[in-house]
Amino acid sequence: MSKLSHVDQHNKPTMVDVGDKSVSERRAHARSIVLLPRAVIEQLRDGDIQTAKGPVFTTAIIAGVMAAKKTHELIPFCHPLGLESCKINIEMAADNKLVIDCHCRVQHKTGVEMEALTGACVAALTVYDMCKALSHDIVISETRLMAKTGGKQDFVHDGN
């Protein structure tokens, strides 16, 4: 049976000790899906949505990168990481779905999944915030880890 990594032998919450781990390249890809109602889709022009607050996708990318870099300040047991790369891509897909992908990379003793997940989530929240004046029917439907490499084992989402 697997054991939770953030609980010590006395069932107290704890940060994982990575002192004895070796540094290796760690990568993670996370995705958030945002469902946009027609009122928002109708504002899409030249690959972005222009609002009084500014270009939505461009702002969401900046917010997502900023959040990924501050993950350790938001999630209690995350180690501070000096991200070497954080790339966010936002694309419209079929069925009014906005797909937000966040790819993070670091050379470290611990993984970068939480940074990728945080980046994707905050980018999605930024889209909501900037478009809520157009409609409150925006839905952030899913955020998930798509893949990770480095560490004990690699992971690739199988599509289910």
User: What are the residue numbers of the active site?
Assistant: 129
Q: How far apart are CA 108 and CA 85, in angstroms?
A: 13
Residue 76, helix vs strand vs coil: coil
Token pair recorded at residue 74: 């938001």
Q: Within 10 Å of residue 32's Cβ, how many Cβ atoms?
A: 27
Amino acid at 64: G
Distance CA 7, CA 10 (A): 8
3-state secondary structure at position 87? strand
Residue 81's φ and ψ, nearest 5 degrees, are: -125, 140
Tell me how far apart the alpha carbons of residues 77 and 142 are, in angstroms, rounded to a whole number: 23
